[in-house]
């Protein structure tokens, strides 16, 4: 069984709490196995195949696997944002910037409506 301190995530990720790049702990979490068995399997593969092939595979896995999210992914929107962030940080930053600009526009429209003369007259009439 995987460590309960590291809950299973929605996908295969490198663990942030692993010993070396977090590949073994990420695989253990994904397959719901004890990390010790994955590490033993990695060492046995290292001995059988030799230093270079297994080291190359491990480094390739470390480069291919996305890092584990800092906080758990709760819904599809968060997963979509995390995936976009991992693949393109600039794209994710632009997406956040667009959302902030849209929010700022909406707030300005609300402020314009609240501070307009018509709003003031409507308030006086209601009183």
What does the DSSP assignment read for 6-58? SPPPSS-EE-TT-SSTTHHHHHHHHHT--HHHHHHHHHHHHHHH-HHHHHHHH
pLDDT in tens, 92-107: 788 889 999 999 999 9
What pTM does this model have?
A: 0.54
Other beta carbons within 10 Å of 80: 12
pLDDT score recorded for residue 50: 85
> H or E element: which one contains 6?
none
What is the domain partition of the chain in residue ranges? Answer: 1-74, 88-127
Contact 27/14 with Cβ under 8 angstroms?
no
- Beta-strand (E) ranges in 11-82? 13-14, 66-67
Q: Which parts of the chain have pLDDT scores under 50?
A: 1-9
């Amino acid at each position: 069984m995987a460590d309960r301190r590291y809950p299973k995530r929605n996908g295969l990720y490198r663990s942030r709490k692993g010993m070396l790049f977090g590949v073994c702990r990420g695989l253990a979490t994904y397959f719901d196995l004890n990390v010790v068995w994955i590490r033993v399997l990695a060492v046995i593969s290292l001995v059988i195949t030799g230093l270079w092939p297994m080291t190359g595979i491990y480094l390739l896995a470390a480069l291919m696997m996305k890092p584990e999210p800092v906080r758990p992914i709760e819904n599809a929107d968060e997963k979509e944002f995390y995936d976009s962030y991992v693949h393109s940080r600039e794209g994710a930053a632009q997406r956040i910037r667009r959302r902030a600009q849209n929010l700022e526009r909406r707030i300005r429209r609300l402020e314009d409506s609240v501070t307009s003369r018509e709003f003031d007259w409507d308030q006086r009439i209601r009183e």
